[in-house]
Amino acid sequence: MVSPILSQLNRPDGSAAYKCPATGYNILGAVNGPVELPARRDALKPEEATVEVFVKPGTTTAGVAERYVEGILRSVLGKVVLGREKGFPRRGVIITLAIAGGENMDRGDSYLTILPSLLHAALLSMISASVPLSMTFSAALFGVTKTGDIVRDPSPTAAKASVSLHVFAISSKGHLLLNESEGRFDFDTWELVHQRALSVCQGTASADGDVTMGEGAASASLHGLIREAVEDQIYSDYAYKLDSI
Amino acid sequence: MRPAHPKEAAQKPTNFIEPARPQPSMSSREEPLSIPERDFILEALGQNLRLDGRQFDEYRPLNISFGEEYGHVKLQLGKTSIIVRISAEITKPFEDRPFDGSFNINMELSNMGSPAWENGRSNDLEPYVLEALDRIIRHSNALDTESLCILKGVSCWAIRADIHVIDFDGNITDAACIGVMAGLQHFRRPDSVVKDGRVIVYGLEQRVPCFNDSKQVIVDATRKEEQAAEGDLVIGINSAGDVCYISKHAGAPIDAMLIVTKTNLAWEKVKVLNAIVDKALQADLSKRADFGMADESRAANDRLIQPE
């Protein structure tokens, strides 16, 4: 699995490049925060930070689809950021996500296929920017085919052919943070996909015998990947302490 | 007449001339340089020194790499870093120009490149860079839009270059220009059914800006040098050595002779930059050849044209 690259950019406070191994989307995220926002927005949240998300498509100008996905991202990330920490109230955390590579999406294509990558890139860039977070999370995309099979991370073409699409974000504690579904499905299907999402994100064997890959369990689950990135970041952040021991 | 009251005179100075204010830098709303920092840069330049130890006519290291898709360029010029993506789409040509496809350059400065840029809002730098790119690449017909026509008045290719500035440390006009030209040479649009109608990419055109600090002229200024600059000069030269663009946007006046000598310098630089782009393209081609994609990657004009 390609590990994400943190803090490769010089100007933003934090940045991360995340490449989704399955769909091939390459997302570049940058976070600036806390920053001063123009006075007019102060009235919005007197005691909390304002999280702003901006999605920049690779080969088109941002439009309705981007505004829509920004709304989803803002609601998830806004809950994760500890916006009441000292120095954060009445300030902004600005997250910019550029789709730097991967298949071009046509107008009207479902944005759910790219949503997990965007979530991961946003989380990792916030970690890189040392924005206080209440938890980490991981997200996964599932498609349900006509025969009822659940496919993890379907490619854009496979996603188009599937009956329903589901995106789940699972927190580090195993709680459901985000549930976005599209298409026709019933509760039983949703429950199955939810179970699958839990196993993919947390790396436990699922009910249908799908065992995590290999011995290195840490990198096998999505959450292990995020954890490794956090560990590396903390290691480099506290390098001065390690050296002085 | 009674002499003016001293207080009055102080309020209304008659022959008071504002000291010449330095030209505000093009990097809009960036944190301005402090006066000592500005003086330091200028004084160092007076002693023939640049902050990063470069010569006046020396570029920062230029690094070009290509992504998996065609027309996906990652370019680094020192700490300035951009991504260019070229894409093609079939549209209806404009009614007044039924034979022409379209080519557009798009650049949106986001918070990623510099914290001073606000998302979703344009600033002064954006139109300035786009205008230069438009004039150099689009209006000089570097890309022949007539070759983008598929069926007269019905359909044509619309080529689009998207420039993402991901890290800003001065001189994005140069970086963007090199990036777009490299991208256009790398890009292969999907073949259309009509026999002809292939993207013809002519030679490379590049520009070299020279920043004029009263006496010293430097190329490839960093962000701080740009902020300390009093003016700038932009020269665009194509690969044949023709000057196709000169812009003296604003700022300190410039000597005519200086433009002549700097044009010679720019031509030297263009040759060097062309060589770097060619090398990067060759490297990418040989990489693709390993996957057996060399034929597909070759210049569009060499494609097999089946006689009918």
CATH numbers and ranges of domains, chain A: 5-244 (3.30.230.70)
pLDDT at B26: 44
Q: In chain B, whose CA is at the least distance from the CA of A32?
A: B115
Question: Is the CB of B145 inside 8 Å of chain A's CB atoms?
Answer: no
CB contact under 8 A, A101 and B68: yes
This prediction has a pTM of: 0.82
pLDDT at A169: 94
CB contact under 8 A, A96 and B110: yes
Q: List chain B residues with CB under 8 Å of A13.
A: 115
B194-240 pLDDT, tens per residue? 444 444 444 455 555 555 455 677 888 888 888 888 878 888 887 77
Q: In chain A, whose CA is at the least distance from the CA of B80?
A: A10
Instruction: Pick the range with the lowest mean pLDDT from A135-149, A188-202, A204-218.
Output: A204-218
Q: What is the mean pLDDT of residues B54-74?
A: 87
| Domains, chain B | 27-301 (3.30.230.70)
Mean pLDDT of chain A: 84
Q: List chain A residues with CB under 8 Å of B111.
A: 12, 30, 32, 54, 94, 96
pLDDT at B298: 54
CA angle A178/A112/A34 to nearest 5° reads: 60
Spell out the alpha helix ranges (H) of A105-208. 115-128, 156-161, 187-202
Eight-state DSSP code of residue B135: I
CB contact under 8 A, A11 and B169: yes
Higher pLDDT: B23 or B169? It is B169
Question: At B82, is the pLDDT very low, low, confident or very high (cuts 50, 70, 90)?
Answer: very high
Instruction: Pick the range with the lowest mean pLDDT from A198-207, B8-17, B78-87, B115-124.
Output: B8-17
CB contact under 8 A, B162 and A58: yes
CA angle B251/B82/A58 to nearest 5° reads: 120
**3-state secondary structure (DSSP) of residue B119:** coil
Q: What is the mean pLDDT of residues B18-28?
A: 44
Among B60, B64, B58, B59, residue whose Cα is nearest residue B277: B64
Q: What is the mean pLDDT of residues B289-301?
A: 59
Higher pLDDT: A43 or A202? It is A202
pLDDT of B265 strictly over 50: yes
Mean pLDDT of chain B: 76
Least Cα separation, residue A30 to chain B (angstroms): 5
pLDDT of B12 strictly over 60: no
Instruction: Pick the range with the lowest mean pLDDT from A208-217, B91-100, B265-274.
Output: A208-217
pLDDT of B36 strictly over 50: yes
Residue numbers of A between 62 and 101 with CB closer than 8 Å to B = 62, 94, 96, 98, 100-101
Question: Is the CB of A5 inside 8 Å of chain B's CB atoms?
Answer: no
pLDDT at A41: 59
pLDDT at B215: 62
